[in-house]
Structure 1
Amino acid sequence: MIIRPIEDADWASFLPTFHGIVDDGESYAYPSGLSDDEVRRLWDEGAPSLAVVAVDPVDGAVLGSAKTGPNRPGRGAHVSTASFMVSPDARGRGVGRALGEWVLAWAREQGYDAMQFNAVVETNTAAVTLWQDLGFRVVGTVPEAFDSRRHGRVGLHVMHRPL
């Protein structure tokens, strides 16, 4: 797969993935019903952050996307963060892992000292397992901080990994 910065032509393919994942209510706290322009502003914040897509090299299909950049401004800008969404049709094909490895390499190249995920839903076991496989550890869990559609109120893990 090819991972590259998101382009205007990619949004038509990525927006249904974004809306579907948010509407599913299991992994992101974004509100449902965001306009496409609001999604674009949330996901592609501009420099120093970067939004990328994973693209199938054969047919050009957008398989997933990640956004990465500083976790906090100013004195917290030495720690990066990232968010990921994989198309339902592409799950189980290593897209999340490829995007995770890509953002870790990008963050290292940019000079970040660590990467922190602020809100990994504890019941999203596929994501928790993947991030642990990539060297992240849970440094804390905010109890009942996420209102899961299927599980009710569950914890949000803060995960961290030095670079």
Structure 2
Amino acid sequence: MMIREATAEDWAAIWRFQEGIVRAGETYTYPRDITEERARGMWLLEPPGRTVVAVDGDGTVLGTAKMNPNHMGPASHIASASFMVAPEHGGRGVGRALGEHVLDWARAEGYRAMQFNAVVETNTRAVALWRSLGFEVIGTLPEGFHHPEKGYVGLHIMHRRL
């Protein structure tokens, strides 16, 4: 697996799995009816943000991550990131590789910490992955996310010093 900068040509492959993930409404705070154009604008970031893809040997996009400052001004030393893995490639270490890549990027860019603002508490695989990479839940917004099957569930704020 290789992680590289995402290009405009990667968008169709990203959207193929991103659309299903967003429409399912189980893990992202994006509107379930988001348009492709809006999703593209939110995912393919301009500097100081960055978007990458994880690809296998034949160039198939397995997953993607976007990383950026979490805040502006005097709080711009805190990074954030978002991740999506194509469901058919889950469980193969793609999310972990992307997570490690993002942490390395944030350190190299001089960020002091990384904060995830909205990790759905029922997304137990993601919560376990981020904990294994050193993140802690520093707070949970009770009933902050309306899950289509589980009703109102919490949104974790997760943090890790770099």
Give the counterpart letter for 1:116 in structure 2: Q
Q: What is the distance in 1 between the residues matched to 2:96 and 2:158?
A: 16
TM-score, normalising length: structure 1: 0.97
1:156 alignment counterpart:
155
Deviation, 1:48, is 0.3
Aligned mates of 2:2, 2:27 — CA distance in 1: 25
After the TM superposition, which of the residue ranges 41-50 and 127-136 deviates more from structure 2? 41-50
Partner of 1:125: 124
Runs of 4+ in 1 over 6 A off after TM superposition: none
Residue 34 of structure 2 is matched in structure 1 by 34
Given that 2:5 and 2:53 are in contact with CA atoms closer than 8 Å, whether structure 1 keeps it comes out as yes
* Structure 1 residue 29 displacement after superposition: 1.1
Match of 1:47 in 2: 47
Q: CA deviation at 1:44?
A: 1.6
Give me the whole-angstrom Cα distance separating, in 1, the residues matched to 2:121 and 2:100.
21
Give the letter aligned to residue 16 of structure 1.
R
Across the aligned residues of Structure 1 and Structure 2, the Cα RMSD in angstroms comes to 0.7
Distance 1:73 1:18 in 2: 27
Shift of 1:45: 2.5
* Amino acid paired to 2:39: V
Residue number in structure 2 paired with 1:105: 104
Alignment partners' CA distance in 1, 2:154 and 2:33: 24
Structure 2: 5+ residue stretches without partners: none
Distance 1:90 1:149 in 2: 23
Q: Which residue in the other structure is 1:64 paired with?
A: 63
- Distance in 1 (CA, whole Å) between partners of 2:42 and 2:135 is 24
The TM-score, its normalising length taken from structure 2, stands at 0.98
**One-letter amino acid of the counterpart of residue 139, structure 1:** I
Which residue is 1:146 aligned to?
145
1:80 is matched with 79
Q: Could you tell me how far 1:43 is from its partner in structure 2?
A: 0.6
2:119–2:127 contact (8 Å) kept in structure 1 = yes
SS of 1:63's partner is: strand
Secondary structure of the residue aligned to 2:91 is: coil
The whole-number CA distance in structure 1 between the counterparts of 2:63 and 2:160 is: 22
Identity %: 56
